[in-house]
Amino acid sequence: MDKKTDLDLAKYRLEQAKESLTDAELLYRNKRYKSANNRAYYSIFYSVRAVLTIERTDFKRHKDVIGYFNQHYVKTEIFPREIGKRISEANRIREDSDYDDEFIVKQSDTAEQIDTAKRLIELVEKYIYVQ
């Protein structure tokens, strides 16, 4: 891929992130917090993949995508450390929401997931459009 094509794919992934965020917000308004957590997490995940697209890096497993992002973008402070912590928390809550039948979802946790997704989209947009 050339640089323009990489940027186009990054923008596409960012649009996926925005669409998932919109879905999360709709689910949240309808008090479907477990599903909203899932969509907020995917918004975060697609945002991270958009960043990795710029350097032509991708992984099959979520933990590898997030780990690489944390190591190469958060640890080096290209993105704030606080966002790395919030991404890890979002992943944990999404897994609990999706796989733990006894997990009790708090409205406040879901609101925080959505806020993390919004914040990351803003940061990724700035990062991508500087490239």
Q: pTM score, two decimals?
A: 0.93
Domain count for the chain: 1
**Which domain does 19 fall in, by range?**
3-130
What is the rounded CA–CA span in Å between residue 121 and residue 127?
10
For residue range 7-37, what is the model confidence (pLDDT) as tens digits? 999 999 999 999 999 999 999 999 999 999 9
**pLDDT above 90 (res 6):** no
Contact present, 69 and 48 (Cβ < 8 Å): yes
- The pLDDT tens digits of the residues spanning 37-62 come to 999 999 999 999 999 999 899 999 99
The CATH number linked to 107 is 1.20.120.330
DSSP letter for each residue of 85-98: HHHHHHHHHHHHHH
Tens digit of each residue's pLDDT (9 = 90 or more) over 61-94: 999 999 999 999 999 999 999 999 999 999 999 9
